[in-house]
Structure 1
Amino acid sequence: MWFKNLKIYRLSTAWTLSAEALADKLAPAAFTPGNNLQAQSLGWVPVREGGPLVHAVRGQLLLSLRAEKKLLPSTVVNQVARARAQDLEAQQGFKPGRKQMKELKEQVFDELLPRAFSITRDTAVWIDPVNHWLVIDAAAAAKADEVLGLLAKSIDPFPAEPLYVEQSPSAAMTGWLAGDEAPANFTIDQDTELAAGGDSRAAVRYVRHTPEIEDLRRHIASGKQCTRLAMTWADRISFVLTEGLDVKRVAPQDVLKENADAAGLAEDQRFDSDMALMTGELAKLLDDLVQALGGEKK
C-alpha cells in the first residue's frame, strides 16, 4: 500500500480533529456515482471496503478520494458536430458561424454524455497529526488539486499549508552534484536531469547511468540546473526529487520489504502494519529531506 508519489503539504498546527470527527466532516461529501448528465463526480470513499471514511492506525489517518469521469473524447464530439454542421449548412444555405458551432458542440456533448463509459480512480491522502504532514499520493498537480478542493469544502478552516524550505530543490540538487556529495543520510542514484533556464530549455538526462563528475560540472558551468535527481534515503527508500519539491517513484528497499513480509499477519492486520511502517518511514524521510534543503522557511 506504499504511496508512489508524494505531493507534500504542511498540516496546520491548529489541527485537532480525531478520526471520528474528521469522518463526520467528510460524510456530506461522500462519493455517489454520477448521473447520466454529469461529466465527473468526486467524493470520499472508505480506504478499506466496508470501513469508515477515515482509517486510523497509531494516530495516523488515511483518506481516499474517488473521481468518476465519463469518457467522451473531443474527437468524437467534433466528428458528430461537423456532420451536423454540414446538414445545417444545407438547410440554411451558409456555414454555421463560430457561435453556432460552439452551441452545436455543446448540444452534441449533452446528447452523447449519457452513453459514455465511466472510469473511476482513487487518490489516497495521508494526514499525520503528530508530525504535521499532509501528503497526497498523486503525480499530477490536477489530482492533488481535486483533493485540496474537496478538503476545503469539507473542513473549515482549511487544514493544508504550503511547505517552504530555505533552499530551492533545484539549487540544492545542483550543489550536491557539483560537490559530488549527497546530504546526510542520503545517497545519489543514477537517474539525473539537468536543464538550462531561459527560452532554450536545453536539457540532458542520464537514465540508469552514473555520469562522470566532470561532465556534470561542465553542464552546470554552462548554466544548467538539476531538475530531477534519483536518491535513496538511509538505504531504506528510493525516490526521485523534482525541482518543484515533489517526491516521485517512491519505492521501499529490500530491508523494509523483508520486515513487512516476515510479519505473517492476516489481511487487515497486514494493511495496518504496512500503513504504520509506511507512515513512520516517510515521516522520517520528509524530516531529513527538509533539513537537507536548509530547513523549513517560516
Structure 2
Amino acid sequence: MWFKNLRLYRLTEEWTHTPEQLNEALEAHCFNPCGSLDPLRYGFIEPLGRHGSEFIHVTNGYIMICAKKQEKILPAAVVNEHLEEKALAISEAESRSVGRKEKQTLKDEIIFSLMPKAFAKSSLDFAYIAPQEKLIVVNSSSAKRAEDLLSKLREALGSLRCIPISAKNIPTQVMTHWVQTGKLTNDFELGEECELHASKDERVIRCKKQDLTADEMLSHLNSGMFVSKLAVTWKESIHCVLDDQLAVKRLKFDDVISEKANERNPESKAEQFDADFAIMSGELKNFITALLAAFGGETDPV
C-alpha cells in the first residue's frame, strides 16, 4: 500500500462530504468485471480488498480510496493476422482487391468476434484525500491514470473541483540551479541520477549512479542544457525522482519509516493497512510541505 509515485491535486473548494456519504457514492460506482464484449471496465473497490467491506478507509482524517481497471488484451498482431487472412480470402474468391474502408469494417468484425476470448488484465489505482489540507494525493506515475481516477471520483460525487498543483518557480530552473550550485533547501539533498535536456535541440542525457556535482555535469549545464528529472533525498529518509511537472516518481521510504508501522504490532491485514497508511500519510504531509516550499511555494488556484 506504500505509495511509489505522487501526483498532487489541490481542492479549490472545501471538502464537504462525510465519510458515510463518500462511501455510498463510491459504492454506487463500484467496479464490475468486463463482460464478454466489454473492452474495459473501471470502478471503485474496497481499499482493503477482500479484507474490507467499505469503499473508503479513514485514518487520522485522511481518506484512502481505490479504483480498479480491467481491460481486455487483444494484441494488434493477432487482429492484423486475422484481417490479412480474411482480406486475402475475399480477394481470391471475388477476384478483387479489398479497399481501406472495407478492411476497417472487417477489422471491427474481427475485434468483436475475438473480444470474448481475450484475456483480461487488471490494475489498481490508489489515492487519498486530505480534507484538512485541501489535497488529493494519487499514487500514479502517469498523469492520464491519475486523471482517470479523478474523473471517476467526479462522476461519483457529481462535482469535484481540483487542479494539479503547480509551483511558483519553474521546476526545471530550480533543479538546474540545485545541480549547478549543489545547494538545496528544505532538507533536500542531491541523489545520483538526473536527466538533462538541451534548449536548442533534442539532445537528452541520462545520468545514473553519478556524482551530479562533477565538472562534466556542470559543463553540460553551462552549454545550455537543463535538468528535467532529478533524484533527491529528503531528511535522509525519503528518496525519489522529481520531474519537470513536479510529479514525484520512484518514491521510496527508508526502513526507519516503514518500521514505525510495525511497532504498533498489527494483528491483522486491516490493522497493518491502517498502521501503514497512518505513518505514510503523516510523513508525506511534511514531505509535500517541504517540497512545495523548496520550489517557491504554490501558485494560487485560479
User: Aligned pair 1:224/2:230, yes or no?
Assistant: no
Percent identity at matched positions? 29
Q: Does 1:202 align with 2:212?
A: no
Instruction: State the secondary structure of the residue aligned to 1:62.
Output: strand
Asked if the contact 1:11–1:127 (Cα under 8 Å) also holds between the matched residues in 2, the reply is: no
Aligned partner letter, 1:23 = N
Q: Does 1:270 align with 2:267?
A: no
For 1:107-256, what aligned pairs fall within 5 Å after superposition?
Answer: 107-198=109-200, 200-256=201-257
Tell me if the contact between 2:186 and 2:293 (Cα under 8 Å) persists in the aligned partners.
no
Contact 2:172/2:227, CA 8 A, preserved across alignment: yes
CA distance in 2, matches of 1:74, 1:37: 17
Q: CA deviation digits over 1:44-100, x for unaligned, max 9?
A: 000112320011111100011000111111110010011000011122221110100
Paired position in structure 1 for 2:64: 62
- Deviation of 1:141 (Å): 2.3
Equivalent-residue separation in structure 2 for 1:185 and 1:51 (angstroms):
40
Match for 1:232: what amino acid?
A: T
Q: For 2:60 and 2:17, how far apart are their aligned partners in 1?
A: 15
Shifted more, 278-287 versus 266-275: the winner is 266-275
Q: In 2, Cα distance between the equivalents of 1:280 and 1:59?
A: 11
Query: Aligned-pair distance for 1:119?
Result: 1.4
Q: Which 5+ residue runs of structure 2 have no aligned equivalent?
A: none
Q: Distance in 2 between matches of 1:197 and 1:103?
A: 45
Counterpart CA distance in 2 for 1:121 and 1:163 is 25
Contact 1:177 1:213 in 2 (8 A): no
Q: Distance in 1 between matches of 2:189 and 2:105?
A: 57
Task: Decide whether the 8 Å contact of 1:62 with 1:127 is kept in 2.
Answer: yes
The AA in structure 1 aligned to 2:275 is S
Contact 1:180/1:213 (<8 A) preserved: no
Query: What is aligned with 2:88?
Result: 86
Cα contact 2:3–2:251 (8 A) shared by 1: yes
| Number of corresponding residues | 297
Q: Which runs of 4+ in 1 moved over 6 A?
A: none
Deviation at 1:14, TM superposition (A): 2.0
Name 1:25's counterpart in structure 2: 25
Instruction: Give the match's secondary structure for 1:120.
Output: strand
Aligned counterpart, 1:106: 108
Shift of 1:13: 3.0
> Judging changes above 3 Å, is the alpha-carbon distance between structure 1 residues 219 and 148 closer, same or farther for their aligned structure 2 residues?
same
Q: Give the SS at the match of 2:28.
A: helix
Q: CA deviation at 1:157?
A: 2.2
Q: What is the letter of the counterpart of residue 156 of structure 2?
A: S
SS of equivalent residue, structure 1 residue 130? helix
Alignment TM-score, normalising by the size of structure 2:
0.94
Asked if 1 retains the 8 angstrom alpha-carbon contact of 2:166 and 2:245, the reply is no
What is the rounded CA distance, in whole Å, between the counterparts of 1:51 and 1:128 in structure 2? 21
Residue 133 of structure 1: how far off its partner (Å): 1.5
Give unpaired runs (5+ residues) of structure 1. none
| 8 Å Cα contact 2:129/2:135 also seen in 1 | yes
Name the Cα RMSD after superposition. Answer: 1.4
Greater shift, 140-149 or 29-38, is seen at: 140-149
Deviation at 1:262, TM superposition (A): 2.8
How far apart are the structure 1 equivalents of 2:218 and 2:295?
20
